[in-house]
Amino acid sequence: MAVSLDPSPLPPAAPTTLLATLRAYTRLLETRRALQAELDSALSSFLSGLGTPLPSSGDALAAPSPSSPSSDAPPPEGAPRSTCAIEAIRPPSQPELEQALQIGFGGLVELKEEARVLRGLLGDKWGREDLQGVVGRIEGWESERMRATLERDQMRRLETLQPELDFASSVAEKNALRDSLAAQVQEEVQEIHAEIAELTAAETEGQEAAPQ
C-alpha cells in the first residue's frame, strides 16, 4: 500500500455571492465523500488482507458497505482529491493504516469546520435561514453517520482479533443506519442543487439582459 500526501491547499477565500457559497458547500460534500471512501478502502484492505484500488464511484455520499462491489476504473479527470490519497496496491501495514486514518480524520475535521463557516454565511451574510437550516440538518446527519461508521469499524476490527465473537448482525445494523442517514442527507442535498440551478438561471438571465 502506498500512502501519499497531497500538499495542503490554501484556506479558501470567503465566497462573495450566495451562489458561490452553495457551490463551495457542494464541493465540500464531494471532497468529504471521496475522503470517506479512501478511508473505508484502506481499512477494508487491512482487515481482509486483500489489496483494493481506490473506488472510482460509490453511493451518493461516501464509501459503500464493505460487501459492495468496487470498480477498477480510474477516477474521472477533475474529480475531487482529498488531502489523504490512499492507493491500496497491497494490504496496508498497521503503521500505514494508522497514518492514513490520522491524516484522513484530520481532513474530515477541517471539512467540518469549513462547513460551519459556510453555514454561518448563509444566515448571517445572505439572510437565507432556510438554506442555513438545510446545511445544519445535513451536517447533523453526517455526524451521526460518521459515529455509526466508527462504531461499525470498531466491531469489524474486534472481529478480526476475536473471531469467536459474532458481530455480523451488529455490523449489518450499523450499515442499515448509515444507509438510512445517507438517504436523508441526499434528500436535503437535492434542495441545495435546486437552489443552485435557480440562482444560476437568474444569473444567466441577468447577464443576457445587461446592455452590451
Domain membership of residue 212 (yes or no) is no
pLDDT of residue 68: 42
Q: What is the mean pLDDT of residues 54-59?
A: 45
Task: Give the pLDDT band of residue 162 (cuts 50, 70, 90).
Answer: confident
Q: What does the H/E/C string look like for 9-62?
A: CCCCCCCCCHHHHHHHHHHHHHHHHHHHHHHHHHHHHHHHCCCCCCCCCCCCCC
Domain membership of residue 140 (yes or no) is yes
Domain membership of residue 73 (yes or no) is no
pLDDT digits (tens, 9 = 90+) for 185-200: 999 999 999 999 999 9
Domain membership of residue 208 (yes or no) is no
Domain membership of residue 111 (yes or no) is yes
Domain membership of residue 74 (yes or no) is no
Q: What is the mean pLDDT of residues 21-25?
A: 97
pTM across the whole model: 0.75
Of 137, 151, 121, 171, the closest CA to residue 12 belongs to 121
CA distance 78 to 72: 18
Domains identified in the chain, total number: 1
Q: What is the mean pLDDT of residues 10-32?
A: 89
Q: Is 78 left (phi over 0), alpha (psi -120 to 50) or beta?
A: left
Provide the mean pLDDT of the chain. Answer: 81
Residue 188: strand, helix, or coil: helix
Domain membership of residue 125 (yes or no) is yes
Top pLDDT among 211 and 42 is at: 42
Residue % of the chain over a pLDDT of 90: 53
CA distance 122 to 126: 5
pLDDT digits (tens, 9 = 90+) for 11-21: 567 899 999 99
pLDDT of residue 63: 44
pLDDT of residue 3: 45
pLDDT digits (tens, 9 = 90+) for 57-89: 444 454 444 444 443 444 444 444 444 444 446
pLDDT score of 207 more than 80: no
Residue % of the chain over a pLDDT of 70: 74
Residue-range definition of the domain harbouring residue 118: 2-67+80-203
DSSP run (H or E) holding 84: strand 84-87
Domain membership of residue 37 (yes or no) is yes
The position carrying cell 432556510 is 130
